[in-house]
Every structure is written in structure tokens, then in C-alpha cells.
């Protein structure tokens, strides 16, 4: 592929306009491309659209032509695109790469030619605490282990974005605020227009519209193409009864990966500490930080009291960003006990590459536990955060730097303390239901529970019913209060049908079923001309004057300002300075930022990393190694042996892969001393290290090793929790003394520890 110099980007401008009319809004993304190079160009641009959106239009303006895109199966669309490029025509395609990442392909663009692409979508908003939350992501940030984002380039860019959002005055708003951008509010006849001009595409746009009137249960309806009634129901539950709050176990999973560097991790630490203050005496808790590996403040949860609270704050404040974002294992650790109901609070920017694997695991293992994720970022992966909350029986909160964390924490704990409503049913009365899709799994007090319902004809009231501790609750929407809407609810329902089919795909390994579900999604996408992961929008410009030369390809570079800001804020924090107001830094950063921890980990050995190579040793140390081997023959022949020494020998020889060590001898010995092993935490930690050093094909040895552990340490092994054991190296003087006095046997544990520590460091 011919790649053109990226210094002259074809993308010149992005504009987003929209109209907010209540729970729904209609929006248009406009992208303007101009070819100022001396070559015919083909351009690629990767960008996000909020996951709650349904894309309903794809339009191209080129010259005096207006072209409308149609959804086709992805492979077929690509063939049509490539075939027309070769023929000298221009083709325009939009692919959905993930649930909220899209890619535009523009080819060909002639010299001095301008092309405008318009993408129309309908969004439905989350309304919490009487506030409409409108989110517009603007940048695809790098994700850990992602095939999509690893191919993208980041750097300084010249193109900017404008926002023009009209808020209908009939909403009777109390206030309008924007934690992400500085806005102008322009009063017009029937609307208030929110304007932001020429902003860098480096962080998500978030608009909050607080309403004066208290919201209550309501519904809207529209006719379907076959003359049925589509209803969007929004139940607002009020649970006025007070219920005694039971003792709970809280697990705080904290992302400390490199992408959390700077203010993100500072905000996270403050949020976790604020959450801890909400706990009650009698509750239990644990802190679980993760990056490429994960650890825990304690092997098992501890009681909430003043002493443990102070210990937790010290532990949290010493956390530093390092490594990748391996989230699955800490979630496995949190949900390990299937018979326990736990509250899991997860703090992350959500930039992982295995979202589907994590969602699938939570869906199958959460049981009655609940996950409440906090998305910390200006470019948070909102789709993943919200989906994780949905399958985890919880609710997500997205926190941007200028937002009040305290309000979100209080709201989350109000949700946690709301008892689960059981036996949840919807009574449609005399309405004949054709289909129903519920947007939420769980119901929370004073928060909307939304349902799409397709009925033959609306002719009766609709009620939501459920029980808390055998007391029945009912919330009703009167038929006469259900109003008609201009929003095409059938199209939005079709998008919900696709999401439901995606759940079927996640929950089967049958290839034939998966292909059939995909075909159903493709049929819906083509029928309603809306986006899906298996289709693409495509349209073709049949040129009279063909562009037959091979075009140069240009992948649109994405703004790296988010990374510059994170790094600059981290530097300013180190020197105790405030955020720099001047644009004094103009640096190019790579796609992924890496950070180094300043803490010394050389003496901390963990079970989830490979042992490092031996350091070069002096002759005295080599003498000691010979003595270790000599004494081993004597040691294993003894009837009574030290458990500690035997375990240290095992770790030492497993690392060196010496065949002289018989692991079965160790297992037989430990079985005879199992009670002593179970009563000693150090022995169990060393046994975990032995397990980790066993090769994967030693199934029986691994199984028998695990049988020697208690449930807590089996959990550690199965979830790859990192455990630190302090192995001390001997000084040169100590080595000389032991060798010269021939006191290896008396110091055997210290000597073996020395070589284990040397191997690790």
C-alpha cells in the first residue's frame, strides 16, 4: 500500500450538531475532507460514536452530488468499495469496528477536491437525579492489547471540532453545565443553543441538563411499519420504606496501569477513600490494585474499623501506575466464591482489549454479587463500563476531572443499599404483547427502568410489579398519559434486537448458531438501514472522468493531546506545581504511555511473574551452590525434615530445573504434615510459588499441590494473585563467613534464600 506523507492531513474539520427533545436526541456528525496534496488520496479515519446511539443515515456531499449510503453485509460492502476504487470511481464506506468505534474510508479524493461526510444518529439519554446526561466521545484512545487501536497513529493535528447542541425550551431546564468544555449558551426562539468552537478532539464532550420538574413514570408511543404500536416505557420507582442495611463485603478493584498515570490515578485514589468512608462497622473489605498483574492488600477481606481504614488509606496512597491492563484475573478473584454476595467497586479508564471475554465471564459468574464500575477519564470506554455494570447487576458512573466525585459516590451507595427487587414482572393488562426488551437488569430507587414493548394496539394501563422481602410494589403508567412521539421507536427497537442477538452470540460456542444470529443481525441492519458490527454503510460516486491512477493511502492521525496533558500533569504534580495554563509543551508521544515505578521491588517475589535470570556470582557463591547440592542428598534422607527448608529447596531446584529434585518426595512429606502447612501462612505462600514454577503439563503435581492448600490459597493460585515473599540476599562478608567456617548446614535456609533472591533480582 502506498502511504502518503501525513504532514498534510485530508481531514480538515469535524462538526457535531444536535437537538435534544427529552429522553432522545437527533444528531449529525459532519466531517470535511480536502485533498491539498499532489496525489489522488484514499483516506481512513477512526472515531467513536456513543454506544447508546443508533446510526440512521450516511450521506456524502461531493461536488454537486448528494449520495446516500446503504447498509450491506461487511464483506460485500468491502468488495463493492474496492471494485469501484479500481474502476476509477470514488467510494465511501463506514464500518463499525466495535460497539462504539467506527472507521470511515474515503476513496478516491481527487486533487483539490472537497468531500463532506454526514452521519446521522439518534441517541437516548440516561437521566439521573433529574439530570439529562449527553455524552459525545471524540477520540479513540489507545487500548491495552487491541488489534484496532494498535494500528492507529497519534500526534499533533490541525483539525478541530465544533459542537452546536439545541436544547428544547419545553424541557423547562433548571441549569446547563459542561464539565468537559467551556460552552457558550445562546438564547434562541424555541431553543437554547450550546456552542463550542474549534476545540481539539482530545476529550469527550459531556453536557448535563438539570430539569426543574421532578420526573415520574411516563411513556411514549409511535406506529410501526406494520401498524402496531411501539411503546417506550420509563418507570420511575419510589421505595419509601426503610430496610435494615445488612453487613456487606466490599471489594475495591483499582486500575493502576500505565494509562492511569497522573490525575486519573489521583482522582481514583480520592474516590476509593471517599467510598471507604461510606462503609459501616461490621462490613468487610479488601483493596485489589491491578496492572499487568494484580495483588491484594490482604489475602482475604478484613473488618472495617478505624485501624484498618488507616491501613487502607496508606496502602491506597502508595499505589503507582505501571504496566498493562489485565482486568479479568482480579474480577475472577472478586467473584471466586459463588455462594457469597459481594459488592465490587471497579475504578478504571476501561482501556482493555478483551472486553467481550470479561463481559462473558461476569455474565456467567456474577450470581447475586453486584459490580459498580467507575469510569475515570476524559476519554473513558463508556460502552465497556456500562455493559459491565449491566451484566454485573449494578450501575456505572463516569467521572471527568471537573465533576464532583462525592455526589456520584453517594448515589452509588444509595443504589447499593437499595434492596434487590425480586419477581420483577410487567403487567400489560389487555394489551397484546408481540415483543419486549428491557434495557436494565436491575431496578434502583428513583432511577428510570426502561422497556421497549411492541403491542398490537395500545388499549390498557401498564404496570411494573415486584417484591422486596415479600412486600409487593406496583408502579403504573396510565394509558391516557402515553403520548405520541416523532421519534422512530421501531428503529431504536431494532437496534435493541441486535443487542439481544449479541447476547445470544456471547452465550453459545456453537458455530452454526453464532452464524445464524449474525445473519439475523445483518437482516435487521439492512432492513432498517442502521449500524451493526456485521454490516457497513456504502455508497459509490460514478465518475465520468475516471481516476485510474493508484491512490496514495492516508490514515488520519489522531490527537495525542490527551497523552501530553496526562504526562504534563504528572510532571507538574511531581514538582508540586499547578496545571500549566500556557501551551508550552509540543511533544510527540507514542500511542501507549509507559511509566516506571519508583518503588524498589527487587526483594518482593510474586507467583505471577517469571523468575529473572541469575546474576553473575563470585567463587564463594559457587562454593555455596556446591554445598547446597551436597547437603540436599543428606537432607532428603532424614526422617524428620524442616518444612521450610524442603519448600525452599523445591523453589530453588524448580527454578534451576535440576532433575535431582524429586517433587513427589516433597508432596508425600507435606501430606504427612498437612495440618502444620495449613496453619502457617509462609508455608502456604511458598507452596504457591512451587505451584507457579511447575510446568503446565504437570497436571497431577499441580492438582496435588493445590490439595495441600486451604480455600484462600487455592483462590490465589487459580486467579493468579501476586503474593510477595521477602527473600534476603546475604552480604559478601556473610557468604565468606559461612564458607570459611563451613556452617552451610546451620544456615541452610539463609543460603537457599540468598540464591532464590539472587535469581529474582
pLDDT in tens, 415-437: 998 888 888 999 999 999 999 99
Q: How many helices (H) and strands (E) does the chain have?
A: 19, 36
CB atoms under 10 Å from CB of 27, counted, come to 22
SS3 for 593-641 is CCCCCCCCCCCEECCCCCCCCCCCCCHHHHHHHHHHHHHHHHHHHCCCC
Helix (H, G, I), strand (E, B) or coil at 685: helix
CA 753/CA 496 separation, integer angstroms: 59
What separation in angstroms does the CA of 367 have from each of 262, 346, 443, 449, 503?
35, 17, 16, 21, 17
Residues β-bridged to residue 220: 232, 483
Domain(s) of CATH 2.60.40: residues in the chain: 11-214+535-544+551-557
User: Within the chain, which residues score under 70 in pLDDT?
Assistant: 1-7, 565-618, 760-761
Q: What is the dihedral of CA 582, 585, 588, 594, to 10 degrees?
A: -100
For domain 11-214+535-544+551-557, give the fold. Immunoglobulin-like (2.60.40)
CA separation for the pair 691, 393 (Å, rounded): 35
With beta carbons less than 8 A apart as the criterion, state whether 400 and 179 touch.
Answer: yes
- Find the Cα–Cα–Cα–Cα dihedral 450, 452, 453, 458, rounded to 10°: 80
pLDDT on residue 572: 45
Look up the pTM and report it: 0.88
Q: Could you tell me which residues come within 8 angstroms of residue 612 by beta carbon, excluding any fewer than 6 positions away?
A: 759, 760, 761
Q: Are strands 131-136 and 205-211 parallel, antiparallel or unpaired?
A: antiparallel
- Provide the pLDDT for residue 263: 86
Rg (CA), the chain: 30
Q: Are 760 and 602 in contact (CB under 8 A)?
A: yes
Angle formed by the axes of helices 489-506 and 511-528, to 10°?
A: 170
Tell me phi and psi for residue 427, to 5 degrees: -95, 110
CA distance 489 to 122: 10
- Work out the number of other CB atoms within 10 angstroms of the CB of residue 117: 24
Query: Following DSSP, what letter does each residue of 406-455 receive, concatenated?
Result: HHHHHHHHHHHTSPPPEEEEEE-TT--EEEEEES-SS--TTS-EEEEEEE
Assign domain 249-416 one CATH number from 3.40.50.410, 3.30.300.30, 3.10.20.30, 3.40.718.10.
Answer: 3.40.50.410
pLDDT for residue 422 = 85
Q: What is the pLDDT of residue 379?
A: 86
CATH 3.40.50.410 in the chain, residues?
Answer: 249-416
- What 8-state DSSP symbol labels residue 112? T
Backbone angles phi, psi at 240, to 5 degrees: -90, -20
Q: What is the pLDDT of residues 537-554, one digit of tens each?
A: 999 999 999 999 999 999
Amino acid at each position: 500500500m502506498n502511504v502518503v506523507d501525513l504532514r498534510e492531513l485530508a481531514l480538515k474539520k469535524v462538526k457535531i450538531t444536535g437537538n435534544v427533545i427529552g429522553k432522545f436526541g437527533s444528531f449529525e456528525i459532519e466531517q470535511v475532507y480536502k485533498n491539498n496534496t499532489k496525489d489522488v488520496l484514499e483516506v481512513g479515519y477512526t472515531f467513536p460514536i456513543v454506544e447508546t446511539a443508533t446510526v440512521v443515515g450516511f450521506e456524502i456531499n461531493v461536488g454537486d452530488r448528494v449520495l446516500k449510503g446503504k447498509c450491506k453485509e461487511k464483506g460485500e460492502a468491502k468488495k463493492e468499495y474496492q471494485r469501484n476504487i479500481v474502476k476509477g470511481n470514488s467510494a465511501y464506506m463506514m464500518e463499525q469496528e466495535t460497539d462504539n468505534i467506527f472507521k470511515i474510508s474515503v476513496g478516491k479524493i481527487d486533487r483539490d477536491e472537497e468531500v463532506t461526510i454526514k452521519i446521522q444518529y439518534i441517541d437516548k439519554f440516561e437521566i439521573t437525579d433529574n439530570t439529562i446526561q449527553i455524552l459525545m466521545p471524540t477520540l479513540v484512545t489507545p487500548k491495552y492489547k487491541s488489534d484496532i487501536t494498535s494500528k492507529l497513529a497519534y500526534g499533533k493535528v490541525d483539525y478541530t471540532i465544533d459542537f452546536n447542541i439545541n436544547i428544547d425550551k419545553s424541557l423547562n431546564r433548571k441549569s446547563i453545565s459542561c464539565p468537559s468544555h467551556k460552552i457558550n449558551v445562546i438564547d434562541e426562539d424555541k431553543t437554547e443553543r450550546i456552542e463550542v468552537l474549534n476545540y481539539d478532539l482530545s476529550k469527550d464532550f459531556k453536557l448535563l441538563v438539570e430539569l426543574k420538574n421532578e420526573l415520574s413514570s411516563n411513556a411514549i408511543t409511535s406506529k410501526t411499519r406494520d401498524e402496531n404500536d411501539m411503546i417506550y416505557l420509563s418507570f420511575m420507582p419510589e421505595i419509601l420504606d426503610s430496610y435494615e442495611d445488612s453487613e456487606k463485603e466490599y471489594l475495591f478493584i483499582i486500575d493502576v496501569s500505565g494509562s492511569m498515570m497522573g490525575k486519573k490515578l489521583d482522582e481514583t485514589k480520592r474516590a476509593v477513600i471517599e467510598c471507604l468512608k461510606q462503609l459501616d462497622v461490621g462490613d468487610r473489605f479488601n483493596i485489589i490494585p491491578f496492572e499487568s498483574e494484580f495483588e491484594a492488600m490482604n489475602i482475604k477481606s478484613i473488618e472495617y474499623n478505624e485501624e484498618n481504614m488507616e491501613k487502607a488509606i496508606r496502602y491506597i496512597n502508595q499505589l503507582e501506575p505501571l504496566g498493562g491492563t489485565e482486568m479479568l484475573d482480579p474480577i475472577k478473584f472478586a467473584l471466586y466464591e459463588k455462594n457469597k454476595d459481594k459488592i465490587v467497586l471497579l475504578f478504571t479508564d476501561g482501556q482493555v482489549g478483551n472486553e467481550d471475554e470479561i463481559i462473558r465471564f461476569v455474565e456467567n459468574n456474577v450470581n447475586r454479587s453486584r459490580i459498580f464500575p467507575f469510569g475515570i477519564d476524559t476519554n473513558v470506554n463508556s460502552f465497556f463500563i456500562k455493559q459491565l455494570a449491566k451484566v454485573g447487576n449494578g450501575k456505572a458512573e463516569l467521572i471527568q476531572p471537573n465533576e464532583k466525585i462525592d455526589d456520584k459516590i453517594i448515589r452509588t451507595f444509595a443504589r447499593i443499599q437499595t434492596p434487590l427487587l425480586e419477581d420483577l414482572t410487567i403487567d400489560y393488562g389487555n394489551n397484546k404483547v408481540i415483543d419486549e426488551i428491557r434495557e436494565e437488569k436491575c431496578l434502583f430507587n428513583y432511577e428510570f427502568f426502561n422497556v421497549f414493548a411492541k403491542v398490537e394496539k395500545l388499549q390498557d394501563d401498564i404496570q411494573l410489579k415486584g417484591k422486596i422481602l415479600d412486600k409487593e410494589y406496583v408502579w403504573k403508567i396510565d394509558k391516557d398519559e402515553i403520548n405520541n412521539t416523532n421519534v422512530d421507536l421501531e428503529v431504536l427497537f431494532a437496534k435493541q434486537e441486535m443487542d439481544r442477538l449479541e447476547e445470544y452470540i456471547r452465550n453459545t460456542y456453537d458455530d452454526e448458531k453464532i452464524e445464524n444470529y449474525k445473519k439475523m443481525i445483518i437482516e435487521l441492519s439492512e432492513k432498517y438501514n442502521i449500524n451493526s458490527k456485521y454490516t457497513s454503510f456504502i455508497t459509490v460516486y460514478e465518475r465520468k472522468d475516471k481516476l485510474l491512477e493508484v491512490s496514495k493511502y492516508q490514515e488520519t492521525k489522531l490527537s495525542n493531546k490527551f497523552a501530553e496533558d496526562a504526562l504534563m500533569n504528572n510532571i507538574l504534580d511531581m514538582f508540586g506545581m499547578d496545571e500549566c495554563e500556557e501551551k508550552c509543551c509540543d511533544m510527540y508521544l507514542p500511542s501507549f504511555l509507559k511509566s516506571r515505578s519508583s518503588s524498589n521491588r527487587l526483594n518482593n517475589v510474586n507467583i505471577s511473574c517469571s523468575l529473572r535470570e541469575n546474576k553473575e556470582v563470585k567463587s564463594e557463591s559457587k562454593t555455596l551452590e556446591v554445598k547446597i547440592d551436597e547437603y540436599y542428598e543428606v537432607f532428603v534422607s532424614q526422617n524428620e525434615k524442616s518444612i521450610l527448608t524442603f519448600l525452599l529447596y523445591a523453589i530453588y531446584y524448580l527454578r534451576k530445573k535440576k532433575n535431582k529434585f524429586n517433587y513427589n518426595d516433597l508432596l508425600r512429606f507435606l501430606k504427612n504434615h498437612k495440618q502444620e502447612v495449613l496453619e502457617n501462612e509462609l508455608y502456604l505462600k511458598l507452596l504457591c510459588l512451587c505451584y507457579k514454577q511447575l510446568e503446565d503439563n504437570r497436571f497431577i503435581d499441580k492438582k496435588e499441590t493445590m490439595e495441600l492448600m486451604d480455600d484462600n490459597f487455592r483462590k490465589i493460585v487459580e486467579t493468579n494473585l501476586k503474593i510477595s515473599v521477602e527473600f534476603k540476599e546475604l552480604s559478601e562478608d556473610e557468604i565468606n563467613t559461612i564458607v570459611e567456617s563451613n556452617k552451610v548446614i546451620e544456615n541452610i535456609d539463609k543460603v537457599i534464600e540468598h540464591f532464590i533472591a539472587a535469581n529474582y533480582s
